[in-house]
Structure 1
Amino acid sequence: MSAQFYQVLFDEAGPDGVATINKDDRPASYFPEPGGFQLPPHGEIADWPPLNLYLKTGEFTDYLASTLGCRLCSTKLRDILTFNAASCDVLQWLDVIVTDGDESHPYSILHFPSPPDILDKATSIIVNDFVVKPVLSVQKCKTLNVFTYSGSGQTKLFVSHPVRQEVIRSKCSGIELEMAASR
C-alpha cells in the first residue's frame, strides 16, 4: 500500500460554529487591509498578541471555521497534531480565545513557519505560481505527518494516514478528512 495523505477540511454538515473578530481587536500587523487577515507565508512569528474571537454562529468544534480564514484548532486537536507530528514537521501555535458570551475556550491558529516543497510539479495544476490543483509527491511527503505547502494560504492542511486515524479515534468535531491526490 502506498502512503496516503488527507486534506483537513471544515465539516460542512452540522451546527459547526464560525468565529469572528471584533474590529477593535485587530492587531494592525496582521490586518494590513481592511477586513483582511494575513500571516507571513514563511518564518516564525515572534510577537503574537493573543487574539480574542467571538463565536458568531453555531457551536464550538475542534476544527473551528472563522472569518479570518485560518487553521483554528481546539486544545484537543492541537495536542493530537503536536503529539503526532513527525520530527521534520515544523508547527507554530498562536494563541486565541474564543468566547460565545457565556463561556470561553482556548484555541490556537496553526502556522507553518517553513512549509516544505511537497508538490509533484509535473502533475499539479499551477497557473502563475497559484496552485489550482495540488498533487502531493509521495516521495517528498513520506517523512511528514502534519504539513502544508509553500504558497498554500492559511487554510490548507494535510495529515498522514496515522494522524487521520488518531483524529477519527478521538472523535474530533468540525473536521472532514478527504484523501489528497498524490503520486
Structure 2
Amino acid sequence: MNWPNLLTSVRFFFIPAYLGVYFSALPGRLYWAFGIILLAGFTDIIDGYLARRNNQITTLGIMLDPLADKLMLIAVFCSFLITGKIGIWAAVALFFRDIAMIIVAAFYHIKGKKTVPANLMGKLSTLMLYIVFFLLMFNYNHATSLLWGVICFSYLTSFIYLFELHAANNKINS
C-alpha cells in the first residue's frame, strides 16, 4: 500500500473519532470535533497531492478517497440532524446524493468499468460543505440558507461527474 492510500485509509478512523467527540461531554467538544473534520480534510488534500506528485494514483485510491469523504460527510450531517442543526429534508438530500454517488462508483468498479477521479467542481463542493458545516456547528445566522445553496451546487457537480463517468466509459466502448 502506498502513502496516499494509507492516508486515505487513516481517514476512515476519523469518522468514529469525530462522532465520539461530537457527542461527548468534553469541554470545547465542538472545536475538537471540527478539528477532526479539518484534519480529515487536510489528509485528503495531502493524499491527493502525494498521489499526483509521485504518480501513485491507483484504482483503489480512486475508489477509497471519495468513499472516505462521503462517509465523513454522512457522519457530520447525521450528527447535525440528531442535534437539530439541520432539518430532515436537508439530511435526506445530502444522504441521498452521497449514497447514490457511492453506489454508482461501486457499480462502475464492480462491472470493471473505468472510474474517474473527482473533478475540480466536486472538490469545490466538498470545500463549500465543510465551510457550511463550520457555520452550522457554531450556529451562525443564515447557515441553513447557505446549506441549501451548497446542496444545489453539490447536485450540479454530481451530474457533471456522472456525465464525465459516462463519457469516459463510452470512449472505451467505442
TM-score normalised over the length of structure 1: 0.28
Give the structure with the larger helix fraction: 2
- Answer 1 or 2: which has greater strand percent: 1
TM-score if structure 2 supplies the norm length? 0.29
